Amino acid sequence: MTTVRIPQDWPATEEQARAVQDALRTRVILGEPGPPPGTGRVTGVDVAYDDERDVVAAAAVVLDASTLDVVAEATAVGRVSFPYVPGLLAFREIPTVLAALDALPCPPGLVVCDGYGLAHPRRFGLASHLGVLTGLPTIGVAKNPFTFSYDDPDTPRGSAAALLAGSEEVGRALRTRDAVKPVFVSVGHRVTLDNACAHTLALTPAYRIPETTRRADALCRKALRETHPA
């Protein structure tokens, strides 16, 4: 377990945070395909909050991409580093998530975030932010479409429909289970949208949500309970 301090130069206001987004957004790489789905390692990251105590716990869980067995895991706990502002949630989570990734004993490979990449009002969600800061290939797989529109995908698993901001495709609504509500996939950094969807399908053999997110969610909640019991 790693204990995290808020960096001294971390943004303290909405204006400062948006300026950071503007500066880092230009560094997002969209022209690389990313690692082939089902190969190497893939890592899920997620966070859990204790709002009353102003605490956040992050988990990083590395899976073997071909078997989905756990290879390694790490957690970190710190103070919430930014107030709740829609569109700026990454600033609440990034320091603790980075600490969990840094504590892993092996390279994480592709990183899957429970959230957004380009499917973000400023085209720079958590997955993009994390990818630029680490240089790792990243994707976002979210449970809801944020503010964007989409047509319902066809019923079978693997069906997809464009997630749209006006006429701009910012991600895809992807059916990971037959006749079950889709998830919302977007590029973070150094991965194409086609590959991001293929990775998501490879990570959902039995459930709607990727195994990376399911494992990281359980681990960060456990870390929060153990360090700050009710």
Binding residues: 46, 114
Pair of tokens at residue 56 = 């956040």
Q: Cα dist. 136→29, 70, 79, 205 in Å?
A: 10, 19, 25, 24
SS3 of residue 39 by DSSP = coil
Pair of tokens at residue 77 = 């706990």
Strand pairing class (41-50; 55-64) = antiparallel
Please give the annotated binding residues for Mg(2+), written as ranges.
46, 114
User: What is the C-alpha separation between 217 and 121, in angstroms, rounded?
Assistant: 25
Q: Where are the alpha helices (DSSP H) in 29-134?
A: 90-102, 126-134
Contact between 76 and 58 under an 8 Å Cβ cutoff? The reply is yes
Question: Which amino acid, one-letter code, is at 189?
Answer: H
